[in-house]
Structure 1
Amino acid sequence: MASTVTTSKRPGYGQLLRTPGAWTFLLPGFAARQPFAMLTIGIVLLVQHTTGSYGSAGAVAAVTGVSMALFAPQSGKLADRFGQRAVLLPGVLVHTASVSVLTALALADAPLWVLFAAAVPAGASVPQVGPMVRARWAAKLDGSPLMKTAAAFESVTDEFTFVVGPVLATALCTGVHPAAGLIAEATLTLVGGLFFAAQKRTQPAVGHLSGDLGGQRRVSAISLPGVRVLVVAFLGIGSVFGGMQVSLTAFTEEIGNPGANGVLYGIFAAGNMLAGIVCGAVAWKSGPRRQMVIGYVGLTLAASALWAVDSPALLAVLGLLVGLCIAPALISGYTLVEPLVPATARTEAFTWLTGAVALGQAAAVTTAGQLADAHGSAAGFAVPLVGTALALITLLALGSRLTPASAGATGAGLIAARGASGKDHRARVTVD
C-alpha cells in the first residue's frame, strides 16, 4: 500500500526528501547507480589502451550498451514479479564477475571477438538501480503531486551521475591504471548494490504472475500503447547523449584543442541539471504531456543548429540550450509512465525507458562516429537532430496515447471498482 504523503500547493525538494524512509534507499541507490555512467568510458579507455584503436574500443562499449538495452526490461519485469531484492542480489554478483572477466581479457590482449562475447553479459547484467529507485518513489507517492518532483529529482541525480562517473573513471584510468576505472565500477556495483538490496522496507509490493495486486491484473508494460510511444521518444534522447559525446570529441580534435571536450560536455550536462532542478521546484500550469512536446520542440530546434557551428563559444551556448531542453522531456516522460501502467509493471516500464536511452545512445555513438570519421564533426551533429525530430513526429502523431482513458484513474493501469452487486468492473487507462 502506498504511503500517505501530505503536500503543499507547491511541493518542493525539501518536502520530497522528508518522505518517510526516502533516505534509506536514496543513499545506497546513488552509490549503486554510479557504475552505470562509468562502464562505457571505462571500457573505451581500457580497450583503447590495449588495442590502440578507438574504433575497437567504441565497438566493445556499444555491444555493452545494446546488451543492457535488450536485457534491462526483462530485469524490470522480474523485479516486479519477484521483488527488487531477488533480482538485484544475483544481478550484482553476475555483473561484478562479468566486468572482472572483461577486464582480465582486455589486459591479456584477447582477440576482439572474445571481448565482444565478454561485453554481452557485462552489459546485460547492469543493475537497474535508477528504475528501481523510481519505482520506490512511485510506490510511496502514488497519487501525490510530489511524484513530478521525484521525477525531477531523479533526473538531476542521473545527470550528476553522468558528470561524476566519467570524470572519476577517466581520472582512475589515466592516473592510476588503465583498468582502474572498470575495477572501481565493479566494486561500487557490488557494495552499493548489496546495500540497496538490503533496504527491504521500501521495496514495492511484489505481485503474482496470474493473480491480482490491489485489484490490478498483471500486464506487460510494453504491451501498453502509451509506453511504446515513450520508448520511441526516449530513443531520441539517447541519440542526443551519444551524438553529443562523439561529435564534441571530434570537434575539439578538429580545432586542435581536445582538452576542451570535457568543458563543452560539462556545459551540456550542466544545462540538463539546471533545467531538472527548475522543473522540480516550480509548479507548472501545463500538464506533463504538453511539457514533453514543448521540450522536444526546443530540443529539435537547438539540435538543428549544431552542425553549422564552428566556434567553441557558440557550440557551448548551443550545448547549454540542448541540455536545458532534455530535462523537461525526460521528467515529463517519467511522470507520464506512472498513470499509464499498473503498479505490478512499474519497474519494467521504467527499465524500458532507461533501456531506450541506452539503445539510442549506442546507436548514436556508432552512427555519429562513422559520420565524423568520413565527413567531420558537423556530420556527426546531424545524429541528435534526426533522432529528436523523429521522436517529436512520433509524439505529435501518437501523443493521445499518453493520456489515461479514465479521468478518475489514479495511475494504476487497470483499476478495479467493486459495485453494489459485488462484481469487479475494470477500466483501462490507456488509449489505443
Structure 2
Amino acid sequence: MASAVKDSRTGYGTLLRTPGAWTFLLPGFLARQPFAMLTIGIVLLVESTTGSYGTAGAVSAATGVSMALFAPQGGKLADRFGQRAVLIPGVLVHVAGVCALITLALTHAPLWALFAVAVPTGASTPQVGPMVRARWASRLGGSPLMPTAAAFESVTDEFTFVVGPVLATALCTGIHPAAGLVAEAALTLAGGLLFASQRRSQPPVHRHRAGDRPRVSALSVPGVRVLIVAFLGIGAVFGGMQVSLTAFTQHIGQPGINGVLYGIFAGGNMLAGIACGLIAWKVGPRRRLLVAYGLLALATTPLWAVTAVPLLGAVGLVVGLCIAPALITGYTLVESLVPAAARTEAFTWLTGAVALGQAAAATSAGQLADRFGPSTGFLVPLAGTALALTVLLALRAHLLPRSSTRTAAGPAHGTDAQVPAVSDARERELART
C-alpha cells in the first residue's frame, strides 16, 4: 500500500483524467460564476437607484450574511437527500429572488422591502463549490490525489472571483445597472440545472434507517469546528484586504491602482494554489496547515506599516502566496475528519465561514479606516489570523482523524458501513504529522 501511494502521480493531468470528472467540472464551473457576481451586482444596481453606497452595501451584506448562515443547512440536506434534490428548488428560489430584487430596486421600493428579498436570495444561493468538492471526495476517497483536487478547486474559486466581478461590473456600467444581476440569474439557472442533471457523479445518499445510530452532523466533529475558526481568519484577510486597499488608494489619490494591487494579491493566491497541486507532499496535512497558517499570520504583520505602493504590492503578493496552502490543506483535512454522510455540509460550513469572516472584516476594517486612517484597516487581517492561529495551536489534536469522526450514519451495512478505528500505532504516527 505504501509503495502504491509513493509511486502514484498527483499532478493535474492525472486528476483531470479521473473517470467522469469532466461531467461535473464544466457544469460546475459555469454554475459557480454567479456566486462571485451576486454581491457586486447588488451594490451596483442599488447604488444606481438610491444614490447611496451605504444602502447598497447594507443590502449586499444582508445577502452575504444570509448566504453564510443558511449554506450549511443546504449542505446537510444535500448529504441527506442528494445534491439534485436540493439544488433544483434552490436554483428556482434564487432566480425568483434575484428577479424580485431587480424589480423592487428599479421601482424604488423602500429599504425594508429590499432587505426582505435579499435574505432569501442569499440563503438560496447554490453552493456549487462545496458540492463539487464533495464529488471529488466521493470519487477519490483516500487517494493521494485529494490534495491536488483541493488545490484545483481553490484555483477555480480564485479565478471565479477574478472573472465574476469584472463581468458583472462591465455589464452594469456598459449596458444597464441591472444587467449584472440578470446575467447572474441566467447563469444560475442554466449552470445550476445542468450541474444537477449530472446524477452519476453525485455522492451517494446516506439514508437513515430504523435502528441506525443518530445521523452525524459535520458541526459535531471537533476538527470541523477548529477549521471553521481557521477559515474565519482567512475570510478576515480577504475582507480586510479589499476594504483597506480601497481606502489606502483613495487616501493617496490613486484609486485606479486598487484593482492592480488586489489583482497582485489574488494572483499570488492563484499561483500558490497551482503550485500546491503539483507537489507530492511528504508532510502530513495537519503540520502543513499549522506551518502555512503561521506564515500567513506573519505575512500580514507589516501591512499596516507600509506606505509605499510598490512595497504594499510586494507584501500583498506574499500574503496571497500564504493563503492558498492554508485554504487547500483545510479542505483536504475534511476527507479524513468527516464521515462521507456529512461532507457536503462540512464543505459548506467552511465556505460559509470564509464569507462570514469576510463580511465581518470588511465592516471592521471600514470603521477603523474611517476613524483612525486607512492603514489601520490592515490590522484586521493580522488580528483575525493571529487569533485563529492561537486556536489552531491550542486545539490541534482535534485535527487528527479519530474513529469517532470516521463513523458514518449507521452500522455496517450498505454505504453506511462503519470505518474501523484507527490503531494506536497509527494514532502515534499521525500525532507526529
CA distance in 1: counterparts of 2:419 and 2:376, whole angstroms: 55
Question: Does 2:139 align with 1:140?
Answer: yes
Q: 1:247 aligns with which of 244, 247, 272?
A: 244
Q: Where does 1:119-158 land on structure 2 (aligned, <5 Å)?
A: 119-158=118-157
SS at structure 2 position matched to 1:42: helix
CA distance in 1: counterparts of 2:169 and 2:402, whole angstroms: 48
* Structure 2 match to 1:80: 79
Q: Where does 1:403-422 land on structure 2 (aligned, <5 Å)?
A: 403-406=400-403, 412-414=406-408
TM-score, scaled relative to structure 2: 0.92
User: In 2 relative to 1, CA 396–260 (structure 1 residues): closer, same or farther, beyond 3 Å?
Assistant: same
Per-residue Cα deviation, 1:58-82 (whole angstroms, up to 9, x for no partner) = 1111111110111000000000000
Q: Where does 1:142-291 land on structure 2 (aligned, <5 Å)?
A: 142-210=141-209, 218-291=215-288
Q: Give the letter for the 2:219 counterpart.
A: I
1:426: Cα distance to partner?
5.9
Per-residue Cα deviation, 1:172-202 (whole angstroms, up to 9, x for no partner) = 1111111111111111101000000000000
Native 8 Å contact 1:135 1:347 kept in 2: yes
* Structure 1 match to 2:350: 353
Native 8 Å contact 2:340 2:408 kept in 1: no
Question: Does 2:387 align with 1:386?
Answer: no
1:19: Cα distance to partner?
0.3
**What's the C-alpha RMSD, in Å, of the aligned pairs?**
2.4
Per-residue Cα deviation, 1:288-318 (whole angstroms, up to 9, x for no partner) = 1111111111111111111111111111111
SS at structure 1 position matched to 2:199: coil
CA distance in 2: counterparts of 1:17 and 1:10, whole angstroms: 12
* Structure 1 match to 2:304: 307
Per-residue Cα deviation, 1:206-245 (whole angstroms, up to 9, x for no partner) = 11134699xx973000011000000111001111111111
CA distance in 2: counterparts of 1:424 and 1:158, whole angstroms: 33
1:89: Cα distance to partner?
0.3
Q: Give the letter for the 1:393 counterpart.
A: T
Per-residue Cα deviation, 1:380-420 (whole angstroms, up to 9, x for no partner) = 111111111111011000011010135xx9x84449997xx
Native 8 Å contact 2:33 2:187 kept in 1: yes
CA distance in 2: counterparts of 1:50 and 1:270, whole angstroms: 33
User: In 2 relative to 1, CA 92–7 (structure 1 residues): closer, same or farther, beyond 3 Å?
Assistant: farther
CA distance in 2: counterparts of 1:193 and 1:427, whole angstroms: 38
List runs of 5+ in structure 1 lacking aligned partners: none
1:9: Cα distance to partner?
3.2
1:375: Cα distance to partner?
2.1
* Structure 1 match to 2:22: 23
* Structure 1 match to 2:366: 369
CA distance in 2: counterparts of 1:7 and 1:286, whole angstroms: 13
Q: Give the letter for the 2:52 counterpart.
A: S
* Structure 1 match to 2:96: 97
CA distance in 2: counterparts of 1:424 and 1:181, whole angstroms: 47
Shifted more, 291-300 versus 144-153: the winner is 291-300
User: In 2 relative to 1, CA 109–37 (structure 1 residues): closer, same or farther, beyond 3 Å?
Assistant: same
Per-residue Cα deviation, 1:253-286 (whole angstroms, up to 9, x for no partner) = 1111111111111111100000000001011221
User: In 2 relative to 1, CA 212–237 (structure 1 residues): closer, same or farther, beyond 3 Å?
Assistant: farther
CA distance in 1: counterparts of 2:317 and 2:393, whole angstroms: 25
Q: 2:290 aligns with which of 288, 293, 303?
A: 293
TM-score, scaled relative to structure 1: 0.92
Native 8 Å contact 2:49 2:106 kept in 1: yes
Q: Where does 1:33-72 land on structure 2 (aligned, <5 Å)?
A: 33-72=32-71
CA distance in 1: counterparts of 2:170 and 2:7, whole angstroms: 43
